[in-house]
């Protein structure tokens, strides 16, 4: 991402949930400042809650460099209500309107193998070229106009892009507006179409009843359903709530695996070795109903098979979770997990 920023010629659009004021954040600020000084138009959109994961926030650094920066939907009490709804959880970096990056990565030291951060995070991010980039740019432009009132247009932001590569790809944006539940419906459609295999890697797994039913129906008709979750989550309440509902998928034949540390923040869904769904969304109500998210669906055997090999490597070092494991929890743990499950719409 930093290399692409340094090579930018006309424009850079960056939208992220978390942008920490740390050594990695500093490298991004320095790179963005340098390209702006040589004439590249830069626009930075950071979610107001996500920007405050570090204090002081990175806003001062960016504004001191005179980089056009905006906070998405400022909240009056970011520390009192850190899980405020309607957050922009998208991760987008678009260079010259022609190259895009998206996936699960935030901009913070824990997401970089170059740092010695004690809370290291494993993640997956993608670089894309081709017409899908214009779809992603359009999402950024709409968010930027909503936040600042500035309209970005013209060849600098939307150049003509020829088809590249062999992957058929489409951007799927969603939010609690006119795009309500697009991601949820896409997931339900994919599960209903699955014939052989479903592979899910997600850090936060608290799906609603409809998705649980779709997972179970897929498993009951002979589809192999594997769900990979972090063994140690960075959000304990989410892990407790997730544990409380695992029996609902285990009893119908879905397989659940705990991936050992470091914390795995990967967000990925693979179906039948031909369909890939990647991006910023998690498998919970916050992502699928309340946040602004962006995923990309891809149709390509080669890509999906490469990612299946990656998922299989994760699974080979993971611990299977059985119905007996879930049923064998102590009563205090069951009560704790159940209480967290009641709060799942707010986690």
Distance from CA of residue 172 to its chain's centroid? 12
Percent of the chain whose pLDDT exceeds 70: 96
Average pLDDT of the residues in 269-275: 98
pLDDT at 343: 84
The answer to whether the CB of 211 falls within 8 A of the CB of 225 is: no
Closest CA to 52 of 66, 73, 34: 73
Helix locations, 149-300, DSSP H:
182-193, 209-220, 236-250, 285
Would you state the pLDDT for residue 308? 98
Fold of the domain spanning 2-148: Endonuclease; Chain A (3.30.870)
Choices 3.30.870.10, 3.90.1070.10, 3.40.50.300, 3.40.50.150: CATH for 168-346: 3.30.870.10
Cα 112 vs. chain centroid, distance in angstroms?
A: 16
Angle between helices 331-342 and 236-250 (to 10 degrees): 100
Q: Output the pLDDT for position 80.
A: 57
The pLDDT score that the predictor gives to residue 111 is 84
Percentage of the chain beyond pLDDT 90 is 86
Q: What pLDDT is attached to residue 82? A: 52
Among residues 282, 261, 319, which one has the least CA distance to residue 122? 261
Chain Cα centroid distance, residue 76: 25
Residue 275 has pLDDT above 60, yes or no: yes
Query: Which residue, 340, 320, 324, is CA-closest to 229?
Result: 320
Residues 239 and 108: their CA atoms lie apart, in Å, by 22
Confidence label for 79 from pLDDT (cuts 50, 70 and 90): low
Measured in residues, the chain has a length of 347
Average of per-residue pLDDT values in the chain:
94
User: What residue ranges of the chain are covered by domains with CATH 3.30.870.10?
Assistant: 2-148, 168-346
Least confident of 33-37, 54-58, 143-147, 300-304: 54-58
Can you give the pLDDT at residue 238?
A: 94
User: Does residue 118 carry a pLDDT above 90?
Assistant: no
Q: What is the pLDDT of residue 152?
A: 98
User: In whole angstroms, what is the distance from residue 75 CA to residue 47 CA?
Assistant: 10
pLDDT at position 17, please?
96
- Between these two residues, 290 and 44, which has the higher pLDDT value? 44
Tell whether the model's pLDDT for residue 273 goes beyond 60.
yes
pLDDT confidence of 77, banded at 50, 70, 90? low
| Nearest alpha carbon to residue 101 among 202, 1, 201, 169 | 1
Cβ–Cβ under 8 Å, residues 46 and 59: yes
- Phi, psi of 105, deg, nearest 5: -75, 130
Res. 141: pLDDT tops 90: yes
Q: Which residue has the tokens 């290291």?
A: 120
State how far the Cα of 102 lies from the Cα of 93, in Å rounded to an integer. 7
Q: What tokens were used for 257?
A: 């695996």
**Which pTM does this prediction carry?**
0.95
């Amino acid at each position: 991402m930093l290399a692409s920023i340094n090579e930018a010629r006309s424009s850079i659009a960056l939208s992220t949930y978390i942008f920490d004021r740390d050594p990695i954040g500093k490298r991004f600020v320095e790179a963005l400042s340098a390209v702006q000084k040589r004439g590249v138009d830069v626009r930075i959109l950071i979610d107001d809650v996500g920007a405050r994961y570090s204090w002081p926030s990175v806003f001062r650094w960016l504004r001191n460099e005179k980089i056009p920066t905006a906070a998405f939907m400022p909240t009056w009490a970011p520390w009192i209500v850190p899980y405020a709804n309607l957050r922009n959880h998208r991760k987008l970096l678009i260079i010259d309107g022609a190259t895009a990056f998206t996936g699960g990565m935030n901009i913070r030291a824990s997401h970089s193998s170059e740092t010695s951060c004690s809370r290291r995070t494993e993640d997956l991010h993608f670089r894309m070229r081709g017409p899908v980039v214009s779809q992603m740019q359009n999402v950024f432009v709409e968010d930027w106009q909503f936040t600042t009132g500035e309209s970005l247009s013209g060849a600098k932001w939307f150049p003509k892009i020829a088809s590249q590569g062999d992957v058929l790809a489409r951007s799927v944006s969603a939010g609690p507006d006119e795009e309500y539940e697009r991601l949820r419906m896409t997931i339900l459609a994919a599960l209903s179409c699955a014939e052989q295999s479903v592979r899910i890697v997600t850090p936060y797994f608290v799906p609603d009843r409809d998705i649980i039913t779709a997972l179970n129906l897929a498993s009951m008709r002979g589809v192999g359903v594997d769900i990979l979750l972090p063994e140690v989550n960075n959000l304990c309440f989410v892990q407790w709530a997730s544990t409380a509902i695992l029996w609902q998928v285990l009893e119908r034949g879905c397989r659940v695996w705990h991936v050992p540390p470091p914390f795995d923040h990967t967000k990925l869904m693979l179906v039948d070795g031909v369909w890939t769904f990647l991006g910023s969304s998690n498998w919970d109500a916050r992502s699928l109903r309340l946040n602004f998210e962006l995923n990309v669906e891809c149709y390509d055997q080669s890509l999906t098979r490469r990612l299946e090999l990656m998922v299989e490597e994760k699974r080979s070092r993971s611990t299977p979770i059985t119905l007996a494991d879930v049923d064998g929890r102590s009563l205090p743990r069951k009560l704790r997990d159940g209480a967290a499950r009641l709060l799942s719409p707010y986690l």
